[in-house]
Structure 1
Amino acid sequence: MKLSLIHICCILLTGIVLLTGCAVAEEITITDITGTEVQIPADASRVVTVDPFSSQFIYVIGADDRLVATCIGPANRELVNKTQKRLGSLPSAGCKTNVNLEELMKLEPEVVISSVDYTKINDDIERVGIPIVKIDLEQADNLAKSYDIIGKVFGKEEEAQEFIDYYNQKMKSIQETGDSITDADKKTIYFGQRSPLQTLGDNYYEAEIARIIGSANAAQGLSGGDNTVSIDQVYNWDPSVVILLPYNSATVEDILADPAWESLPAVQEKQVYQMPKYLMSWELPVPESILGTMWLQSMVYPDAVTFDLTQEIQEFYKKFYRIELSDEDVKTLLQDKSKVVLNKPSSS
């Protein structure tokens, strides 16, 4: 059969159009936590995180195979390497504001996930033309919103929503218990950060979970995460409970035996505890923070809680991390007083 020149041209033109269409990757628009619209590949498979807390949620929704580099943050590296092998094996282009832009560019990322707080490095990443999606995990009101954004980046909306629903339901129940605490019974919490006399302000996630459980951050009027205070100031605040975070240089025993602290009522009543940790410290803005919130309420208001903490811990890790913990495992976890090592704080 003979084809006319017109027919041949039409066939060739159709082929070119089809090939051109195949070469154009489909894109989606992500609206990040700042309201900025970001264009990224619909099936992005080269994602980098420079935020130290988002990688755990990415693992929870089963999207860690789409990462080419990540910031693990202050995690238990041995446990991460054992239970999250791919996540633990990934390289890093840096964390928070300590990002190596040259190394980041070598990874050829299709999108970078960063915190809204890292102003300078975010500007640098945008300047070299890499799409960047900003999230905000430090503000409790934005945590679930940020998880929703991460789910959309990876096309894992259903998996993200499953965790968000769980998180919201647990937080609602905890807050209802907290709201039932009378003003006369409300307690205040002093959080010991990197050292006993370093504490965090009211704009930090830990202060928000204190409010949710029906308590309050003792360090009223402060902001930021590394405020150095005097022992006299701690006495003036007179906290009902002292919580040492797992990266604090002191132990519970150190505080109880320290003459400088011995007259504080919370110390005299032995209301001094260390926040638990597993993959990461439970008060950090990571999925495990829901366990830290439950634990904190159970320590501050033991007679008010109705949940079984051991059961909650077991169900959480099985459901979201595919980790089976026995009662003895949970007991060991809660008694673990080893320290978490943090990098020195840096400005954005």
Structure 2
Amino acid sequence: MKKQSITLFLVMLLALFLTGCSGTDKQTADSSENNHSQPESAKRVFTDSAGRAVEIPNDIKKIAPSGPLAQIVLYTSSPDLLVGLASPFSAEAKEFIDEKYQKLPEFGQFYGKNASLNMEALSAAEPDVVIDIGEAKKTVKEDMDKLQDQLDIPTIFIEANLNNLPETYIKLGELLGNTEETEQLSEYCEKVLSQAKEVKENLKAVDQKSVYYASGNAGLNTNAEGSFHAQVIDEVGAKNAAVGVDVISKGAGSVVSMEQLIQWQPDYILADSKDVYTLITTDDSWKELTAVKENRVYQIPLSPYNFLGSPPSVNRIIGMQWLGQLIYPEQYQLDIKQSISEFYKLFYHVKPTTEQISAILENAQ
């Protein structure tokens, strides 16, 4: 009887053991099956400004610009994600750009007269996405598709002009997942654009000032009325003196004559370099202009980028504040030195010294 009890006990114990193992195996299998059926997605679809639905990584850690304009915007929002440059930083820019970014490899640019994109070098850097920022060209959709096929890297276009920069930064934040910083940049742009719009709408025609943008070796090249590169002049409520001129958006812009300038008699002359500023203020051929006689010739600030455009990127936002305060001080009421300090800290990630701000504004006040 005792032996039978022991045998029965052992049989029951074995059954319990086997049932336990089976349950454990089933739970493990179920858990494994659940994990397999719900994997974390590594991709998402982003619709760019050209209406293209592009599959991109969920977490973007490396980006490359398609050209200089894109480079500036991407530097302002996400410098640590850049794996290379479209073009080297200028001598004026290097003073305000951390050296580690200056050492990034150069890929060249996709668009423009200096188009020379090094596909091999760009592919070797393995960016998660290549980003083009700027005006929407008629062929932008086809261009981006072609570049994406050639590189086998997602390629995104985000539209940017002076008036839609707030939206540009919001779109860029959605792409890169960097919404906190891009919202700050968007809000700053919106504030500047809104002030300029209000001033422009409230200006009487008789109070509008005319401005001539002097460039080229002789100061007789200009970004005429209607030029993409002269938007700042119009947006602050001024009139572009160069009217009735064929608009040339590439190179040095439109060529005009001294006779035309004398006929236009601009209220203000803006020189795009120190050499042009010196020429206009010292050469006898310019002395017939009222702006020269009345000392209303100014040098456009150039560091780290030309305030009125070149390239025509977000640098024009601080340009609007500078030019607005210069010609309409009562309406803008800005401390331009403080504005420069704020803008550079937010957009260029550097706090300029008092000496640097004075140098930026040399001949510009």
| TM-score normalized by the length of structure 2 | 0.77
Corresponding residue number in structure 2 for 1:294: 321
Output aligned runs, 1:256-267, within 5 Å. Answer: 256-267=281-292
Structure 2 residue matching 1:190: 3-state secondary structure: strand
Task: Please give the alpha-carbon distance, in whole angstroms, between the structure 2 residues aligned to 1:135 and 1:51.
Answer: 12
Q: Report the Cα offset of residue 12 of structure 1.
A: 9.4
Are the equivalent residues in 1 in contact too, given 2:144–2:156 (CA < 8 A)? no
Q: Report the Cα offset of residue 94 of structure 1.
A: 0.6
Task: Please give the alpha-carbon distance, in whole angstroms, between the structure 1 residues aligned to 2:178 and 2:343.
Answer: 19
**Which structure shows the higher helix fraction?**
2
Measured on the aligned residues, the alpha-carbon RMSD in Å equals 3.2
Task: Please give the alpha-carbon distance, in whole angstroms, between the structure 2 residues aligned to 1:292 and 1:40.
Answer: 35
What letter is aligned with 1:169? K
Corresponding residue number in structure 2 for 1:89: 103
| 1:234–1:121 CA distance, 2 compared to 1 (3 A) | farther
Q: Deviations over 1:42-88 (max 9, x none)?
A: 11122110221333333333x222221122566434324xx423322
Structure 2 residue matching 1:112: 3-state secondary structure: strand
Unmatched runs of 5 consecutive residues or more in structure 1: 338-348
Matching of residue 277 in structure 1 with residue 302 in structure 2? yes
Task: Please give the alpha-carbon distance, in whole angstroms, between the structure 2 residues aligned to 1:205 and 1:238.
Answer: 23
Task: Please give the alpha-carbon distance, in whole angstroms, between the structure 1 residues aligned to 2:131 and 2:194.
Answer: 28
Q: Report the Cα offset of residue 241 of structure 1.
A: 1.6
- Residues paired across the two proteins, number: 329
Which sits farther off after the overlay, 291-300 or 321-330? Answer: 321-330
Structure 1 residue matching 2:269: 3-state secondary structure: strand
Task: Please give the alpha-carbon distance, in whole angstroms, between the structure 1 residues aligned to 2:180 and 2:216.
Answer: 37
Which sits farther off after the overlay, 221-230 or 113-122? Answer: 113-122
Task: Please give the alpha-carbon distance, in whole angstroms, between the structure 1 residues aligned to 2:175 and 2:100.
Answer: 19
Are the equivalent residues in 2 in contact too, given 1:77–1:88 (CA < 8 A)? no
Are the equivalent residues in 2 in contact too, given 1:201–1:207 (CA < 8 A)? yes
Output aligned runs, 1:1-348, within 5 Å. Answer: 11=29, 14=32, 18=36, 21=39, 25=42, 27-61=43-77, 63-72=78-87, 75=90, 76-80=92-96, 83-95=97-109, 96=111, 97-115=115-133, 116-117=136-137, 122=144, 124-128=146-150, 129-137=152-160, 139-195=161-217, 196-221=219-244, 222-223=246-247, 224-225=249-250, 226-231=252-257, 232-246=259-273, 250-284=275-309, 285-335=312-362
Unmatched runs of 5 consecutive residues or more in structure 2: 1-16
The higher radius of gyration belongs to 2
Are the equivalent residues in 2 in contact too, given 1:313–1:330 (CA < 8 A)? yes
What letter is aligned with 1:282? F
Q: Report the Cα offset of residue 157 of structure 1.
A: 1.5
